[in-house]
Structure 1
Amino acid sequence: MLYADRISLPFSEASRSLEIIRAEEIAKFPARDVAGILQYATGVDIRQRGPHGVQSDIGIRGGGFEQTLILINGLKMTDPQTGHHIMNLPISPENIERIEIIKGPAARIYGQNAFAGVVNIITKTPDELKGSVNVSAGQNQLLGLGVEMTLPGKKNNQYLSLNRNVSEGYRYNTDYDITNFMYQNQFALFGAETSLLAAYTEREFGANGFYSSPASRDQYEEIQTSIIGLQSKILSGSWIIKPKIYWRRNQDEYIFIRSNPSIYRNLHIGNNIGAELNTSYLSEFGITGIGVEIRREHLESSNLGENSRNLASAYLEQRLEYGDFTFTPGVSFQYYSDFGPKFFYGADASYNLSRNFMVYANAGTTYRVPSYTDRFYVDPVNEGNPDLKPETALTYEIGIKKLGRTGNIQVAAFKRIGSDMIDWTRDTIMSPKWTPINLNRVPVNGFEAIISSNLGYITGVPVLGYQRLTYTYIDAKVEDNDAFESRYLLENLKHQFAYLGSFNAKYFYVNVTYRYYDRVNLDDYQLLDLRIDKKFNKFKVFLDVNNVLDADYKETNLVPMPGRWAVIGANFRIY
């Protein structure tokens, strides 16, 4: 089942483009963080300024970093300051049960920021007693240490994880120190399945060229992000009721000259406090989803000032089934205290040609309100625009899914017509400052395909693993734009191709990933990554080599990414 708050459906029955990355697949990736895992997903664009989860932005299907919603067990990681912070995730790869990626408009389901898609990270809830230690070491003085413990019981299942990774960096002032902590407890409360999640990440890193310009080599940043949430699932006759409350806090300290903070320093502290009540009702007419949400967003900032706003929303959707045909219309109402009310409409439809073969289509409206950085940020080279309007878009998608025991095929074509899209622009003749404006019309057309197969036998040798090929094409443009220079809007991937192969080489496993990227504003590049691992009775050893071909590349127009980087490690089960 998808971990949906509204109408929960099996993956095979969802009438939209979905991708699920499971724990067994994550274990094959040579990745040390969530951003590294998502780099292998179809249509997902990760733009890193530093390796191993230091600082990264995410986009889906040509969307920007403000247009993707990140969830942890359904808890929203939105940030009122800027979308640059939504990937400050207090989660390590070892904590993840699966990652669900919903592509296309999801504002009617999840609200603002679900403009181009949603990523929902589901953490592990082990039910067996287990303790393990992870250690790793590698080039650039990389060291990693992690501890996991599970404490199952008759009345609750507890999970605790602590991870720390440090490195001196691959060039001047790119050192980092990242600590992730997570605690989860599943228990029964008044007869309801209840889950408590508390997680925290602390990141300290040199930010050589991350912002401003490549010449700004001495920048430094410290980030602390925490999330705590309590949610339940109540079964009552034909009703499923899911209440939840949560609090997310993000603190960001930016220093322009690391050795002399007095020259220029920003400190931002953002808090989101929210509550949701999501329900579904099964009747002879199908499944009805009803829910409400309230949230308060507050920011205290040395640059942006003190700002607060309130959100209230409600939704209604109905899934109808007529034999092999399904139709799910829905409507959502959202009210932001600083932008007023807004309605969103959409519908999903599908038809099963056979038991495992579906054709589907969906359409919907979506939006994104400006962040406080968009509206109020000021420094020597940037000036916000308090008069910005929310972004809106209408999106269409058609696709097919063919799922089977030996492999899967998914193909989709999509179109998004954006209005009042926000981008930071400048005219170097009239003004040297970057300023955000609303652009009239930004159409995005695209196509994606996923083909995966489970491997059986090669020349008589059993092969445990699989192969997967993915491809995404995106054509985006800005109409009626007189701006001289654009910072963010047209930096999407035009072509994105990836191959993942997992092979059993008798005494060990070999996992190979190849990726090709053609970004519209940068040179194209190819990356080859490798993981080799060997399992023993109570421990596993591995070797990761990222960027085997030592390619020179950038994922943004500012920061050169690392060359070849090798890491060795082991996981020991202590009980």
Structure 2
Amino acid sequence: MENNDCKFKINFRRLFVIICLVFISIFSNNKSFGQTHDSIKTYRLQEVEVYDKMPLKTHNTEQISLQYYISTDILNRKKEESVSNLLKQVQGIDIRQRGQFSTQTDISFRGGNFDQTAVYLNGINFTDPQTGHYSLNIPVSSNIISGIEVFKNTSQCLFGSPSFSGIINILTEPDSVSNLSLSTTIGMYGLLKSGIELNLLSKNTSHLLYFDYERSDGYVENTDFKNFNAFYYGNYLTKIGKFESQLAFLSRDYGANGFYSLRFPNQHDSIQTVIASVKYINKAKVKIIPSLYYRYQQDCYQLIKGQAREKNNFHQSQMAGINLLSYFYSIVGKTAFTADYKIENIYSTGLGLLLNEPVSIKREDNIFYKYAYTRQYYGLGLNQSYTNKWVDVNLAFNLMNNTDNKNIFYYLPSLNFAYKIPCNLGEKYKLEQNIYVLAGKNMRMPTFTDLFYHTGDILGNDKLKPEEALTFELGYNYNVINNKSKKNIFDGQICVFQRYGKNMIDYIKAENDSLWRCVNHTKVNTTGIEVSTGFYPQEIFNPSFFITNINVSYAYIIADKPADNFLSRYVLDYLQHKVSFNLTHKVISNLLVNYSVIFKSREGKYLNKDRNYENYPNYTLLDLGIQYKYRNWDFHLNINNVFNVPYFDIGGLTQPGFWIMGGVKYKINLKK
């Protein structure tokens, strides 16, 4: 690894200015673009409808790797929920919260760790290069989310960038009419959240603008937080095609009681993030879709809140990239080409290689970034999709390279195959069934924290190799559909997958050692089974039937590695059993009640405050949500952890007990 200089920061600033100029040009036009209802394509996948918002997902074969879609219907039953709370019921996803309301959340998928799940916003990869702890720092809430897609790790045919465990793609879309919404929520522990949402549409443009602020005194000492989100998303239709742009800012300031070590209850973290992107979609038959994206983040971590400023950890990370997707249709199906370039950089008081000359930290007197690191990624992809009455097939091939391993090219193929078994059940209903096989090879580069972190009892390792994995999956899914409404009556799936991991990155320690050391495991193999089913009575009885939905899912995972008598901090600390149950019913017209039950059983051990090792206890939680709609008013009441069950997802870090909150949202349509 070679030393780093400061030229990279200047290039990033130029790129950010270019993006801002694009946004200004979009705002300068008064015309509006609105998507017509006829242009929306609907796919059937398990219990929900999948809407084709992005042009790259216009082929049925590419739906094979889509595991779940959180639809607008589900979001309407989850008022004022954070992204982490929306995802925690999803089969295969492990949400581990340190701070509530997505203040600090680790997200894992199918037995992977929090660094192995990629997070996208409207199809743009904004995964944090510094640490997966910050990847879910996305400045949106359920108020403006139009859907959340959960993709398996054979989905490189969609985005051009492989993901080690899976992809979470959060979608937003302006409303179909211009309107203004105001919302507020209050609750226990001094919780207050207020938001404002503005949707503006005319002929050729549509804009979504959103702000919110939330704060709490915390459920125990030093778990208080203050969060602020600002988000813009816009569409602009021209004679030559469509432009999509987004610009967002996020601020998190929170007490971090025991977040990273139970020995330090007075930790504190402060984070500011900026993300931006612009995408162009042409009108020609041969689609060309370039995207330009940027992410900036700075944070200040205090091991002891209020300590001398020079003792704090300061970081400034930046990421920028260009992605190109091109595709066309022919007699052999859909042929697509992808190209991806990304550059990542960090300036830090502790992460990276020693700088020749320290760089001063803005607004800090006599404190300097002494370390920095820069790396670049290159990727090319080619995939072919074919579909007919009986089969859906997608074959993708990606080639990846990076400046950390200049002489090594990673060949990452994937195959998605589904055999369709249609079956008519009379005039009213039909049964759609698929038997599918998935296979794919993936890799992940270590984060900057993995490489360089040397603080307290954790030691990084700048000699780490990239993780690699080969995944296979066999499954069956079905949908019983109402022919009139085109909606599901029943749906479900069962699948088994096997992941063979090589050079898996983990922090390990011997029982008599005081340090967690970052290493590559020789190999770690993971086996999983997933079963789910859903029932939607209103589609078989009538729309006024009191039960809206019943969903049940179960996921089982087991991982193994060669015995070495070391304790694992992440790789073998995974959710082994997860059972989810969800039911929504009407009480009276426009009054809905939602019950969410989740059971978790976790493998692995944690180090308690007395420095002894304990197994993770099992727990079951019940959350209750009540929603009432009256004209332009939406009222909601949420009760989390109804039975006040003591639990934690990260060793010894106690999560809130009974927590009640409620609020109101008012929407007014604006005159044209």
What band does the TM-score fall into relative to the shorter chain? over 0.9
Structure 2 residue identity aligned to 1:275 = I
Aligned residue number for residue 139 of structure 1: 188
Note the aligned Cα RMSD (angstroms). Answer: 1.9
Query: In structure 2, the residue corresponding to 1:94 is in which secondary structure?
Result: coil
Q: What's the CA shift string for 1:504-542, capped at 9, x where partnerless?
A: 111521111111111113111001000111110110111
Aligned residue number for residue 463 of structure 2: 387
Q: What's the CA shift string for 1:476-530, capped at 9, x where partnerless?
A: 122x242522111112111101111110111521111111111113111001000
Structure 1 residue 24: Cα displacement: 2.0
What is the alpha-carbon distance in structure 2 between the residues aligned to residue 163 and residue 85 of structure 1? 19
Aligned residue number for residue 248 of structure 1: 295
Q: Are 1:346 and 2:429 matched, yes or no? A: no
Q: 2:577 aligns with which of 492, 495, 500?
A: 495
Structure 1 residue 409: Cα displacement: 1.2
What is the alpha-carbon distance in structure 2 between the residues aligned to residue 488 and residue 29 of structure 1? 30
What is the alpha-carbon distance in structure 1 between the residues aligned to residue 414 and residue 543 of structure 2? 51
Q: Are 1:8 and 2:76 matched, yes or no? A: no
More helix by share: 2
Aligned residue number for residue 158 of structure 1: 207
Structure 1: gaps of 5 or more residues: none
Structure 1 residues 461 and 295: alpha-carbon distance in aligned structure 2, compared to 1, 3 A threshold: closer
Structure 2 residue identity aligned to 1:224 = Q
Structure 1 residue 384: Cα displacement: 1.1
Is the 2:62–2:394 Cα contact (8 Å) retained in structure 1?
Answer: no
Structure 1 residue 92: Cα displacement: 1.3
What is the alpha-carbon distance in structure 2 between the residues aligned to residue 382 and residue 451 of structure 1? 42
Is the 2:277–2:293 Cα contact (8 Å) retained in structure 1?
Answer: yes
Query: In structure 1, the residue corresponding to 2:143 is in which secondary structure?
Result: helix
Aligned residue number for residue 70 of structure 1: 119
Structure 1 residue identity aligned to 2:633 = F
Q: 2:587 aligns with which of 505, 510, 515?
A: 505
Is the 1:16–1:360 Cα contact (8 Å) retained in structure 2?
Answer: no
What is the alpha-carbon distance in structure 1 between the residues aligned to residue 542 and residue 343 of structure 2? 61
What is the alpha-carbon distance in structure 1 between the residues aligned to residue 541 and residue 489 of structure 2? 15
Is the 2:398–2:413 Cα contact (8 Å) retained in structure 1?
Answer: yes
Structure 2: gaps of 5 or more residues: 1-50, 352-370, 424-431, 482-487, 605-615
Structure 1 residue 21: Cα displacement: 0.1
Is the 1:311–1:337 Cα contact (8 Å) retained in structure 2?
Answer: yes
Query: In structure 2, the residue corresponding to 1:25 is in which secondary structure?
Result: helix
Aligned residue number for residue 330 of structure 1: 396
Q: 1:94 aligns with which of 143, 154, 164?
A: 143
What is the alpha-carbon distance in structure 2 between the residues aligned to residue 484 and residue 263 of structure 1? 35
What is the alpha-carbon distance in structure 2 between the residues aligned to residue 31 and residue 137 of structure 1? 11
Is the 1:107–1:344 Cα contact (8 Å) retained in structure 2?
Answer: no
Aligned residue number for residue 203 of structure 1: 252
Aligned residue number for residue 448 of structure 2: 372
Structure 1 residue 14: Cα displacement: 2.4
Q: What's the CA shift string for 1:229-272, capped at 9, x where partnerless?
A: 000211312x2221110101121210111122447311111111
Structure 1 residue 292: Cα displacement: 0.5
Q: Quick check: 339-348 or 160-169, which moved more?
A: 339-348
Q: What's the CA shift string for 1:392-425, capped at 9, x where partnerless?
A: 0110011112122312112211110101101011
Is the 1:112–1:368 Cα contact (8 Å) retained in structure 2?
Answer: no
Is the 1:398–1:412 Cα contact (8 Å) retained in structure 2?
Answer: yes
Q: Are 1:219 and 2:267 matched, yes or no? A: yes
What is the alpha-carbon distance in structure 1 between the residues aligned to residue 393 and residue 595 of structure 2? 40
Please show how residues 36-185 of structure 1 align to structure 2 within 5 Å: 36-106=85-155, 110=159, 114-185=163-234
Query: In structure 2, the residue corresponding to 1:488 is in which secondary structure?
Result: coil
Is the 1:139–1:566 Cα contact (8 Å) retained in structure 2?
Answer: yes
Structure 1 residue 6: Cα displacement: 4.9
Structure 2 residue identity aligned to 1:331 = F
Aligned residue number for residue 412 of structure 1: 495
Q: Quick check: 443-452 or 545-554, which moved more?
A: 443-452
Structure 1 residue 155: Cα displacement: 2.0
Structure 1 residue 125: Cα displacement: 2.1
Is the 2:282–2:289 Cα contact (8 Å) retained in structure 1?
Answer: yes
Q: What's the CA shift string for 1:322-357, capped at 9, x where partnerless?
A: 541232211101110112321111211111111611
What is the alpha-carbon distance in structure 1 between the residues aligned to residue 140 and residue 534 of structure 2? 27
Using the size of structure 1 for normalisation, the TM-score is: 0.95
What is the alpha-carbon distance in structure 2 between the residues aligned to residue 572 and residue 485 of structure 1? 52
Is the 1:449–1:471 Cα contact (8 Å) retained in structure 2?
Answer: yes
Q: 1:560 aligns with which of 643, 646, 654?
A: 654
Q: Quick check: 100-109 or 145-154, which moved more?
A: 100-109
What is the alpha-carbon distance in structure 1 between the residues aligned to residue 592 and residue 95 of structure 2? 27
Structure 1 residue 380: Cα displacement: 2.9
Is the 2:185–2:661 Cα contact (8 Å) retained in structure 1?
Answer: yes
Q: What's the CA shift string for 1:292-348, capped at 9, x where partnerless?
A: 111111111111120001111100011133541232211101110112321111211
Query: In structure 1, the residue corresponding to 2:419 is in which secondary structure?
Result: strand
Aligned residue number for residue 397 of structure 1: 473
Q: Quick check: 309-318 or 257-266, which moved more?
A: 257-266
Is the 2:160–2:340 Cα contact (8 Å) retained in structure 1?
Answer: no
What is the alpha-carbon distance in structure 1 between the residues aligned to residue 156 and residue 303 of structure 2? 36
What is the alpha-carbon distance in structure 1 between the residues aligned to residue 206 and residue 543 of structure 2? 43
Is the 2:178–2:199 Cα contact (8 Å) retained in structure 1?
Answer: yes
Structure 1 residues 66 and 110: alpha-carbon distance in aligned structure 2, compared to 1, 3 A threshold: farther
What is the alpha-carbon distance in structure 1 between the residues aligned to residue 474 and residue 120 of structure 2? 25
What is the alpha-carbon distance in structure 1 between the residues aligned to residue 158 and residue 522 of structure 2? 26
What is the alpha-carbon distance in structure 2 between the residues aligned to residue 190 and residue 233 of structure 1? 11
Structure 1 residues 370 and 134: alpha-carbon distance in aligned structure 2, compared to 1, 3 A threshold: same
Is the 2:154–2:416 Cα contact (8 Å) retained in structure 1?
Answer: no
Structure 2 residue identity aligned to 1:446 = G
What is the alpha-carbon distance in structure 2 between the residues aligned to residue 389 and residue 22 of structure 1? 38
What is the alpha-carbon distance in structure 1 between the residues aligned to residue 651 and residue 421 of structure 2? 46
Is the 1:276–1:292 Cα contact (8 Å) retained in structure 2?
Answer: yes
Is the 1:401–1:411 Cα contact (8 Å) retained in structure 2?
Answer: yes
Aligned residue number for residue 533 of structure 1: 627
Query: In structure 2, the residue corresponding to 1:462 is in which secondary structure?
Result: coil
Is the 2:62–2:158 Cα contact (8 Å) retained in structure 1?
Answer: no
More strand by share: 1
Is the 2:154–2:415 Cα contact (8 Å) retained in structure 1?
Answer: no
Q: Are 1:475 and 2:541 matched, yes or no? A: no
Structure 1 residue 190: Cα displacement: 4.6
Is the 1:106–1:366 Cα contact (8 Å) retained in structure 2?
Answer: no
Structure 1 residues 154 and 208: alpha-carbon distance in aligned structure 2, compared to 1, 3 A threshold: same
Q: 2:601 aligns with which of 484, 501, 518?
A: 518
What is the alpha-carbon distance in structure 2 between the residues aligned to residue 460 and residue 2 of structure 1? 25
Using the size of structure 2 for normalisation, the TM-score is: 0.82
Is the 2:489–2:535 Cα contact (8 Å) retained in structure 1?
Answer: yes
Aligned residue number for residue 443 of structure 1: 525
Aligned residue number for residue 571 of structure 1: 665
Q: 1:271 aligns with which of 318, 337, 342?
A: 318
Structure 1 residue 276: Cα displacement: 0.9
Structure 2 residue identity aligned to 1:353 = I
Structure 1 residue 104: Cα displacement: 3.4
Q: Percent identity?
A: 28
Aligned residue number for residue 515 of structure 2: 433
Q: Quick check: 262-271 or 547-556, which moved more?
A: 262-271
Is the 1:22–1:99 Cα contact (8 Å) retained in structure 2?
Answer: yes
What is the alpha-carbon distance in structure 1 between the residues aligned to residue 127 and residue 110 of structure 2? 19
Structure 2 residue identity aligned to 1:74 = G
